[in-house]
Amino acid sequence: MKNEDLDESYWILEEIRQELIRACKKHNHWPEDLIHSVAIMQEESGEAIRAALQCVYEGGNISDVEKELVQTAAMCIRALLNIRNGNTLDIITSNLKGEKSV
Taking only the tens place, the pLDDT of each residue in 15-59 is 999 999 999 999 988 888 889 999 999 999 999 999 999 999 999
Report yes or no on 102 lying in a domain.
no
Domain that holds residue 39: 3-96
Report yes or no on 25 lying in a domain.
yes
Question: What is the domain count for the chain?
Answer: 1
**pTM greater than 0.85:** no
CA atoms within 13 A on the CB side of 41: 16
Report yes or no on 101 lying in a domain.
no
Report yes or no on 39 lying in a domain.
yes
Q: Which helix (H) or strand (E) holds 21?
A: helix 3-26
The answer on pLDDT for 4 being more than 90 is: no
pLDDT of residue 99: 55
Taking only the tens place, the pLDDT of each residue in 61-101 is 999 999 999 999 999 999 999 888 876 545 444 555 665 54
DSSP letter assigned to residue 58: S
The burial class, CB within 10 Å (0-12 / 13-18 / 19+), for 55 is middle
